[in-house]
Amino acid sequence: MVLALLLDRLGVETVVFNTEQTTNRRPRGSTHNSRTMEHYRMLGLSSKIRQLGLPLCHPRDVLYLTRLNGYELARISMGSERERQQAAATAGETEQIVEPLLRANQMYLERFLFEQVGMRRGVTLRFGWQVSGLEQSADCVTLRAESADGHAEQWAAGYVIGCDGGQSFVRRTLGISYSGETAQRSAFMAGRMISAHVRVQGLYASALRGREAWLYNILNPKLRMLLFSLDGKADFLMMMNAAADTSLPENAQLTEYLRVAIGVNVPVTIVGQQIWNGGVALVAHSFGRGRIFLAGDSAHLFSPTGGLGMNTGIDDAANLAWKLAASVQGWGGENLLRTYEIERRPVAVRNTVAARSLTHRLGDIGIPNELDDSTEEGVAARINLGGLLQKFTGQFSAPGIELGARYDGSPIILSHDPPPSDDPVNYNPSSVPGGRLPHLWMGPPNPGRCSIFDRLGRGFTLIRIGDIAPGAAAFQAASRTLRMPMEVINLSKVPAFDLYQRRLILVRPDQHIAWRGDAVPDDLQGLLSTVAGCERISNSPSWFDGDSKSVCT
């Protein structure tokens, strides 16, 4: 749905097929990282999305406890949504977190997006329809779909994108397999997991005694469980290891687990539950063939620790949307869409590996037998473990992973400068082409102020820094010749030059820098042809022959 909205913004019509009649009603991911929020901002939706899920003043803290009514081991303070918005609105001009990370369950987001796609004239919805056949020729893709009530339709389109999840029909039809690590058993969040939507009335007032948080991480010698607050009232997402027989437990059994985790006998309703595989780090060998592409879980499967799965999928959509639009609208070169895989597959490998290592760190935490005891040994065990947990923050916020994805080595990125180091925790803003445009607020702190991202065009944007910066007329003339949309933004020298280091910065429609310089290059037409994918791609991606430990379909 995000891809359909991004394409609609760029004037490309789409049809969205989904087997389900409506959006997923089961809670899954809750983390929309800063980069995802920037994509929502590009769609003009980030403020509305910030209203979803938990109340604005509900703390987004992570609380480690032996039971909900038991001992508190550690609290990672993450502020409330309202506090984060205030901090972003009053931050300095070169503050990089323009859209702070949001916790709002995907279940609420999908409902909201469903309403949004329903309002776009350029998006046709086929919910309740299963795609059952795909064939492609040099000019188009033919797609067959069947509705639940037995109707069949055939559609022809320029391109098809399989955003159809881990069991992707599109990926299998293309004969593309995943490689990487399948569920390696560690003590927690790896192998078969249960997640359940549960309703427990009055929990904040009773067992929690007002200790509001976003995530309750329950650790004791009998059980490990995660409880995520969904609406700040009675709804929670519960996750724990599934029993070895892997069938769904009876509701009565789940209720019993919850009572152990809560520590008091309160009425519990199990709204729904599902089994899934944690601990995987799988990436498709290829992200498409010809006119058919994969995005999201169909291209990569994550362990949920770190909340990177959906976020990486949305970043795929941002990379792909402008390339599809440029190809449909005739200014994208014939090699532009090939760069989708070249740019996104290494990011998928990077992010799946990061999520897997977070899962192992989390799973490998030892739980002492005396942890929940009211003895001296129990006190010592809690101080010890609490100290360790307090430092374990990378899974809840990692700006380096979120904002630091780079496309170095891509044939449509022009750079001779070394990229900044890839630090998962800290984001290093850099104008070396390949990375996200470092952020700049345009104007003094106030809640409605404009970000440089709001000023970028729907095509390419040339940013000129300082009064004597060259280039506007030359870039505009060359881009007109290539029918390439190009906006120009003029910035005064301070503080933009410190941030961008060059007088000219060429930004792609997905906000990544394509080129930088101080003077208009001699072969400007050649430069623009290259960044639009018109030049031949000679390098075959080095990762293609396999970084795999295992292959699975």
Ligand X SMILES: Cc1cc2nc3c(=O)[nH]c(=O)nc-3n(C[C@H](O)[C@H](O)[C@H](O)COP(=O)(O)OP(=O)(O)OC[C@H]3O[C@@H](n4cnc5c(N)ncnc54)[C@H](O)[C@@H]3O)c2cc1C
Q: Is 180 an interacting residue with respect to ligand X (CB under 6 A)? A: no
Residue 17 beta carbon to ligand X: minimum distance, rounded to whole angstroms: 5
For residue 325, the minimal CB distance to ligand X (Å) is 20
Task: Tell me which stretch binds ligand X (CB under 6 A): 17-25, 112-120, 528-536, 545-553.
Answer: 17-25
Q: Which of 408, 402, 404, 482 is nearest to 436 (CA)?
A: 404
Is residue 164 involved in binding ligand X (CB under 6 A)? yes
* CB of 313 vs ligand X, minimal distance in Å: 4
Q: Which residue in 310, 469, 491, 504 binds ligand X (CB under 6 A)?
A: 310
Looking at beta carbons only, is 85 or 105 nearer to ligand X? 105
Q: Which one of 245-253, 302-310, 410-418, 446-454 is the stretch in contact with ligand X (CB under 6 A)?
A: 302-310
Is 74 an interacting residue with respect to ligand X (CB under 6 A)? no
Q: Which residues does 123 contact at the CB level (< 8 Å), separation at least 6?
A: 4, 5, 8, 13, 14, 15, 16, 117
- Rule CB under 6 A: is residue 402 a binding residue for ligand X? no
Site membership for ligand X, residue 14 (CB under 6 A): no
Residue 293 touches ligand X, criterion: CB under 6 A: no
Torsion sign, CA atoms 134, 135, 137, 143: negative
Interface residue with ligand X among 55, 79, 128, 165 (CB under 6 A) is 165
Q: Which two tokens stand for residue 11?
A: 């004037």
3-state secondary structure 162-217: ECCCCCCHHHHHCCCCEEEECCCCCCCCCEEEEEEEEEECCCCCCCCCCCCCCEEE
Q: Is the Cβ of residue 29 or residue 435 nearer to ligand X in the bound state?
A: 29
Residue (296 or 435) nearer to ligand X, CB: 296
Q: How far apart are CA 433 and CA 417, in angstroms?
A: 8
- Tell me how far, at minimum, the Cβ of 362 lies from ligand X, in Å: 13
Q: 74 or 113, CB closer to ligand X?
A: 113
Q: Which residue among 100, 249, 309, 420 contacts ligand X (CB under 6 A)? A: 309
Q: Is 307 in the site for ligand X (CB under 6 A)?
A: yes
Which residues from 24-63 bind ligand X, rule CB under 6 A? 24, 28-31
DSSP codes of every residue in 85-135: HHHHHTS-TT-S-SS--EE--HHHHHHHHHHHHHH-TTEEEEETEEEEEEE
Q: Which is nearer to ligand X, 276 or 543 (CB)?
A: 276
Does residue 395 touch ligand X according to CB under 6 A?
no
Of the candidate spans 7-15, 181-189, 305-313, 445-453, the one that interacts with ligand X by CB under 6 A turns out to be 305-313
Calculate ∠ Cα 177-147-123, nearest 5°.
80
Nearer to ligand X, 165 or 521 (CB): 165
Contacts 24+ apart (CB under 8 A), 163-167: 163/3, 163/294, 163/295, 163/296, 163/298, 163/313, 163/317, 164/131, 164/298, 165/296, 165/297, 165/298, 166/297, 166/298, 166/301
Q: Residue 157: left (phi > 0), alpha (psi -120 to 50), or beta?
A: beta
The residues pairing with 192 across neighbouring beta strands, listed in sequence order, are 277
Mapped onto helix, strand or coil, the DSSP state of residue 32 is: strand
**Site track for ligand X across 108-147, x = CB under 6 A:** ----------------------xx----------------
Count of residues making up the chain: 553
Instruction: Using CB under 6 A, list all residues that contact ligand X.
Output: 17-20, 24, 28-31, 106, 130-131, 163-165, 169, 195, 276, 296-297, 304, 307-311, 313
